[in-house]
Amino acid sequence: MLHPFAGAARLAGAAALLLLAGCAKDATLTGTGPAPTPTTTANATTANGVMMQGFYWDVPGSTPAGTWWQNLAGKATELSAAGITAMWLPPAYKGSAGGYDVGYGVYDRYDLGEFNQKGTVATHYGTLAQLQSCIAALHGKGIQVYEDVVMNHLMGADYQESFLYNGQNFNAYTGFNYPGRGTTYSSYQWHYYNFNGAQQGANNSWLQWNPWDFQSYANGDAYDNLMGCEVRYADPNQATETIKWGNWLTTKLGLDGYRIDAAKHIQTGFFNNWLDGVKGSRFAVSEVWFNSVSQLNDYATATGGRTSLFDVPLHYTFKAMSDGNGAWDMRGLQFAGFTEANPTLSVSFVDNHDTDTPGGLNSPVVNLKMLAYAYILTREKGYPCVFYRDYYEYGLGAQIKTLSLIRKANAYGASYEYTSVDDADYYAYSRAGDSTHKGLMLILNDGGGARTKGVISPFKNATLTDKTGNYGGTITTDANGYGSFPVQARSWSAWVPS
């Protein structure tokens, strides 16, 4: 979708409203001095799990395996073997542009590819039966399923309504009666009074008849009018219906969790009630696009820790590393992002469907991307999310798989940042291991030449190998854990006691 609110679709024949939010980078670095015995910090929300975003913008409607749902189902075995423990699915409901809509222009929340509406029975990703088979295949391989929940707006109304509000006449496409579905699953219909306002006309200009009901963040910036018909959650009728729908969706698909689209645009009080009424003990991560650790922490406080949040500042740190392409100071990775500040609520990522698409945020991490993946997949803090397009379309799957399996086997125990060792090119980070896992020493290098530095590791009198395969041979440490840890140019190594 378009910046700054990932979740708004690029709809056929319609332009999404673009609002620009400030992006002040948090880049404060702190030091720790000489390496002490590492101290234990909080575990990730899902211990050593790895989530995959199972789609990208404009995924094909047809693949060699069939529909997108059939494509994902066919990859369940290989992804489970690669250490993927959860799959984030795209919005599964009928969009306003029918089979062309990627789901963020949601028309009917209850149509998961089952009813002939908007010119098609199937959604862009396939039919309900194929979706349920996909989820069964993923569950059968021990992969949890998170559905993308879009509840800020509706689009593609069935008819126009005329009404009077505060002495002003309005004509707006705000009537939803779902002639293709009727009252199956729900008899709830939508009218102008269920919304605060709507985009109308060829230029998608805004009409507003109820006050925006969002909770303001980031110095009062306005976030409610995102796109389409903005649902009015100040009215308890919409709140009750959306909680009811959330429970229906969870049961219908057997969901293990949720990715919440455009959460900052939704009234926070309602959203907290939705999480209380639907989520239960399941996982939830929300898209709140703030490039500010303090603003993410403000939102985490307002939602009472009910939902994890994507680490947007960390993505932009990786973007800066990518843009520097060897000239960026690698010490910027020390204690970086929301992942460091609030580890139990952070979902770390490198790219997603919004950052890596023309016409969206278009802030992809192009250079040195595997250094970013090595960072999030070995870190003690945060719950890492892998991007489907990186894994399959950009040819990084084998390397990401290796790191994911290193995470599964070795990324345990207390962590340590080597602030007295790191320099502009060389970054070191260790996991001490535990009683059943050997731990690791991660070394990253964005420079143009191979590097070696002396580091006091957690591994005493040990022989270590680079489990990534990027550096051959072995190295040894002394009784204090000191050893010389090499890394190739523009590369990454995970040195593991053998």
Q: Beta strands 440-445 and 426-431: pairing type?
A: antiparallel
Within its chain, how far is the Cα of 141 from the centroid? 22
**481 lies in the same domain as 403:** no
Q: Beta strands 383-387 and 51-53: pairing type?
A: parallel
**424 lies in the same domain as 488:** yes
Express each pLDDT in 331-378 by its tens digit. Answer: 999 999 999 999 999 999 999 999 998 777 889 999 999 999 999 999
**pLDDT, mean of residues 235-239:** 97
Query: Are the C-beta atoms of residues 272 and 306 closer than 8 Å to each other?
Result: yes
Express each pLDDT in 94-116 by its tens digit. Answer: 999 988 899 999 999 999 999 99
Out of 261, 340, 446, 466, which one is annotated catalytic? 261
**304 lies in the same domain as 441:** no
Is 297 within the bounds of a domain? yes
Q: What is the dihedral of CA 212, 216, 221, 224, to 10 degrees?
A: -30
Domain boundary among 364, 392, 410: 410
Express each pLDDT in 129-179 by its tens digit. Answer: 999 999 999 999 999 999 999 999 999 999 999 999 989 999 999 999 999
Note if 230 is an active site residue.
Answer: no
- Cis bond before residue 4 (omega within 30° of 0): yes
Note if 287 is an active site residue.
Answer: yes
pTM for the whole thing?
0.90
Domain boundary among 410, 427, 452: 410
CA-nearest of 457, 448, 453, 463 to 480 is: 457
**403 lies in the same domain as 422:** no
**200 lies in the same domain as 344:** yes
**113 lies in the same domain as 237:** yes
- On the question of pLDDT at 18 being above 50, the answer is no
Is 35 within the bounds of a domain? no
Domains held by the chain: number: 2
Express each pLDDT in 256-273 by its tens digit. Answer: 999 999 999 999 999 999
**315 lies in the same domain as 462:** no
**104 lies in the same domain as 223:** yes
**355 lies in the same domain as 488:** no
Domain boundary among 410, 430, 451: 410
Q: For the chain, what percent of residues have pLDDT higher than 70?
A: 90
Q: Beta strands 463-466 and 426-431: pairing type?
A: unpaired
Q: Provide the residue range defining the domain that includes 443.
A: 415-497
Is 428 within the bounds of a domain? yes
Out of 230, 287, 311, 417, which one is annotated catalytic? 287
